[in-house]
């Protein structure tokens, strides 16, 4: 007779629960691959943790957490500059408000659909819990493509979007912010329309301009926070940021501020990209070049390829992603599923030491597995990029109290918050021996608070 150890029995039981659970999730959410992927990534680490904790099973916590509280789905009609009527789809997924008002960004991108917004809203619930602030999870957006649109077209679109959205949001109900395709310009137009419709000046959106209730450090927070987290991981393993060669994808808000902070911490940001290709600077991008890219993207709304025309030490690689460049650390900062299993295997072969997900779910599951199996330090998005929503939470606090903190104070709060998140990951992600499993640590630390709050409320 084979006698199983308690650990093996728990492993077998949790594998069986996970398979059954995922079969149910797939059945209830057909045609939503990104959402299924995000749920699997969490559930695969939570089932082993709760194997000997019956209260979570009895209360069906993981089943309840995988259903959004509600989804709002609406038509967004607008008129283009040529006078044509155009129609887009708008959404708001209010995922979970167990620990605070729904909070999370709005994405404007042609790929936006329910699967993508459900994955983002689900992830946001765990991420927001990790920040230590009282904020629940939500996400929204539209399949609107801001590329090539005039400012007036974007303004009319934003006004139409908010004309429906305004009735579903509020400073204590649901507080949206930016994400891909939604930056300072769009938040300004949306806040202006909200204020006009409701005649209220409240902190209903974050990422606002500094003139009208925005917080210092919010623009920088996601990228800076990601680099603080990467530094914390490297230092925990006995190293540091000094001299690290880093590949970064994307060239938007997150990527440019990650590059800037990497540089400030003594590392060398070697790449940036957009959906057209990537640029490589063997010397590492300097501050002047990063500022130039910010202006290119936020003001001129140009393509990253133009960087190679401007600077003689920059090469452009058309149609390619930056993962073939030999680096010490990789920081995917563009979009979901931008690193596949083969690219991860190549990065491991090239000696990558750490991967920090600054975008949301940029690594396919096969890539995550490849990094963890190879012993590469892997920082999952919900921990690495939580500084953005963290400073959004601080913007809400400042708005409620009608005060504005200074930059040094906010930078200190961000740095401490990232330090606390790193500690939570270490606490929940360390087995008796071996390296920290940051994926497990982030998922469990984010889960416990939301799950325990839900249990307190009874079966609601
Ligand atoms: P931006 O719109 O500022 O920049 C997005 C960048 O990613 C652009 O360079 C864009 O290139 C590139 N990109 C977008 N979609 C694709 C795609 N399908 N394929 C290749 N490249 C793509 O967005 P952010 O910097 O704000 O967001 C980047 C990531 O960070 C997203 O995953 C977002 O969810 C996440 N995030 C953002 C936070 C924030 O505070 N802004 C907070 C936490 C996470 P192109 O111009 O060619 O489309
Ligand atoms: O994915 C994210 O955390 C964001 N886009 C930021 C959300 C926010 O509310 O600041």
DSSP class per residue in 371-409: HHHTT-EEE-HHHHTHHHHHHHHHHHHHHHHT----HHH
Q: Which two tokens stand for residue 172?
A: 């204590």
* Residue 83 CA from chain centroid, whole number: 36
Distance (Å) from CA 255 to ligand 1 centroid? 8
What are residue 416's phi and psi, to 5 degrees?
-65, -40
What is the pLDDT, as a whole number, of residue 365?
98
Q: Give the domain ranges of the chain.
A: 6-64, 70-202, 219-385
CB distance 214 to ligand 2 below 6 Å: no
Q: Fold match between 70-202 and 219-385?
A: yes
Catalogue the active-site residues.
139
Please give the helix or strand (H or E) that residue 229 lies within, else none: helix 218-236
Distance (Å) from CA 219 to ligand 2 centroid? 11
Q: Which atom of ligand 1 is nearest to the CA of 274?
A: 11
CATH for the stretch 219-385: 3.40.50.720
What is the pLDDT, as a whole number, of residue 9?
72
Tell me the three-class secondary structure of 55-99, residue by residue: HHHHCCHHHHHCCCCEEEEEEEEEECCCCCEEEEEEEEEEEECCC
Distance (Å) from CA 435 to ligand 1 centroid? 30
Longest dimension (CA), the chain: 79
Instruction: Give 431: exposed, middle or buried? Use CB within 10 Å, 0-12, 13-18, 19+.
Output: exposed
Our CA angle for 121, 142, 139, nearest 5°, is 15
Q: How far are the Cα atoms of 229, 273, 334, 441 from residue 331, in angstroms, in the given order? A: 11, 12, 9, 19
Say which ligand is closest to the CA of 392. Answer: 2
Task: Choose one of 205, 221, 253 to mutate for the ligand 1 pocket test, by most ligand atoms within 8 angstroms of C-beta.
Answer: 253
Q: Which two tokens stand for residue 273?
A: 């990209």
CB distance 449 to ligand 2 below 6 Å: no
CB distance 121 to ligand 1 below 6 Å: no
What is the pLDDT, as a whole number, of residue 83?
98
pLDDT > 70: percent of the chain: 99
What is the pLDDT, as a whole number, of residue 4?
60
What is the pLDDT, as a whole number, of residue 12?
84
CB distance 107 to ligand 2 below 6 Å: no
Q: How far are the Cα atoms of 38, 75, 140, 160, 213 from residue 165, in angstroms, in the given order? A: 26, 10, 10, 9, 20
| 138-181: pLDDT as tens digits | 999 999 999 999 999 999 999 999 999 999 999 999 999 999 99
- 30 three-class SS: coil
The pTM of this model reads 0.97
Give the CATH fold of the 70-202 domain. Answer: Rossmann fold (3.40.50)
CB distance 105 to ligand 2 below 6 Å: yes
Match 């609406």 to its residue by tokens.
74
Q: Which atom of ligand 1 is nearest to the CA of 181?
A: 2
What is the pLDDT, as a whole number, of residue 3?
57
What are residue 27's phi and psi, to 5 degrees?
-70, -40
Are the C-beta atoms of 94 and 138 separated by less than 8 Å? Answer: yes
CB distance 186 to ligand 1 below 6 Å: no
Q: How far apart are CA 320 and CA 364, in angstroms?
A: 17
Beta pairing partners, 139: 93
What is the pLDDT, as a whole number, of residue 14?
86
Query: What are the residues whose beta carbons fall under 8 Å from the beta carbon of 352, sequence distance 6 or more?
Result: 327, 328, 329, 330, 371, 376
- Alpha-carbon Rg for the chain, nearest whole angstrom, is 22
Task: Choose one of 385, 386, 417 to mutate for the ligand 2 pocket test, by most ligand atoms within 8 angstroms of C-beta.
Answer: 385
What is the pLDDT, as a whole number, of residue 443?
98
Average pLDDT for runs of 10 along the chain of length 460 = 66 90 98 98 97 95 98 98 98 98 98 98 98 98 98 98 98 98 98 98 98 98 98 98 98 98 98 98 98 97 98 98 98 98 98 98 98 98 98 98 98 98 97 88 98 96
Say which ligand is closest to the CA of 225. Answer: 1
Match 């790449």 to its residue by tokens.
271
Q: How far apart are CA 131 and CA 257, in angstroms?
A: 20
Instruction: Give 19: exposed, middle or buried? Use CB within 10 Å, 0-12, 13-18, 19+.
Output: exposed
What spatial distance separates the first Cα and last Cα of the chain, rounded to whole Å?
45
**Which protein residue's CA is at the shortest distance from atom 9 of ligand 2?**
104
Match 């990104």 to its residue by tokens.
34
- Parallel, antiparallel, or unpaired for β 277-281 and 271-274? antiparallel
Q: Which atom of ligand 1 is nearest to the CA of 182?
A: 2
CB distance 450 to ligand 2 below 6 Å: no
Report CA dihedral (28, 179, 443, 59) to the nearest 10 degrees. -40
What is the pLDDT, as a whole number, of residue 2?
53
CB distance 254 to ligand 1 below 6 Å: yes
């Amino acid at each position: 007779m084979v006698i199983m150890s308690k650990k093996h029995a728990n492993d077998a039981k949790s594998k069986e629960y996970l398979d059954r659970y995922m079969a149910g999730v797939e059945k209830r959410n057909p045609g939503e691959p990104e959402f299924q992927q995000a749920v699997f990534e969490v559930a695969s680490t939570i089932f082993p943790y709760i194997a000997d904790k019956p209260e979570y099973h009895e209360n069906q916590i993981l089943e309840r957490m995988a259903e959004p509280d509600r989804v709002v789905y609406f038509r967004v009609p607008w008129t283009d500059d040529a006078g044509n009527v155009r129609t887009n789809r708008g959404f708001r997924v209010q995922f979970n408000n167990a620990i605070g008002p729904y909070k999370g960004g709005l994405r404007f991108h042609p790929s936006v659909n329910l699967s993508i917004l459900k994955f983002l809203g689900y992830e946001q619930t765990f991420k927001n819990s990790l920040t230590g602030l009282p904020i629940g999870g939500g996400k929204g957006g539209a399949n609107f493509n801001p590329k090539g649109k005039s400012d007036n077209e974007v303004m009319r679109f934003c006004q139409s979007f908010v004309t429906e959205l305004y009735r579903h949001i509020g400073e204590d109900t649901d507080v949206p912010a930016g994400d891909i395709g939604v930056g300072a310009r769009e938040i300004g137009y949306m806040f202006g329309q909200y204020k006009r419709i409701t005649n209220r000046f409240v902190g209903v959106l974050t990422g606002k301009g500094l003139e009208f209730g925005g917080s210092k450090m919010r623009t920088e927070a996601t990228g800076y926070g990601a680099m603080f987290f990467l530094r914390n991981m490297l230092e925990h393993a006995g190293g540091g940021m000094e001299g690290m060669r880093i590949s970064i994808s994307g060239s938007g808000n997150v990527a440019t501020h990650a590059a800037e902070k990497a540089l400030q911490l003594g590392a060398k940001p070697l790449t940036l990209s957009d959906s057209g290709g990537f640029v490589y600077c063997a010397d590492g991008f300097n501050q002047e070049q990063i500022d130039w890219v910010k202006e290119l993207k936020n003001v001129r709304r140009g393509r990253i390829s133009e960087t190679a025309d401007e600077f003689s030490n920059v090469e452009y690689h058309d149609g390619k992603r930056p993962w073939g460049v030999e680096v010490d650390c990789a920081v995917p900062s563009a979009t979901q599923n931008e690193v596949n299993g083969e690219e991860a295997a190549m990065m491991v072969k090239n000696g990558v030491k750490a991967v920090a997900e600054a975008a949301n779910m940029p690594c396919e599951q096969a890539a995550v597995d490849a990094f963890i199996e190879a012993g590469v330090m892997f920082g999952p998005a919900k921990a690495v990029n939580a500084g953005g929503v963290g400073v959004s939470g601080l913007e809400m606090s400042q708005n409620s109290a009608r005060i504005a903190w200074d930059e040094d104070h906010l930078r200190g709060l961000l740095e401490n918050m990232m330090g606390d998140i790193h500690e939570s990951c270490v606490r929940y992600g360390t087995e008796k021996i071996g390296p920290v499993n940051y994926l497990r640590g982030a998922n469990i630390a984010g889960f416990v608070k939301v799950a325990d709050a839900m249990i307190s409320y009874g079966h609601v």
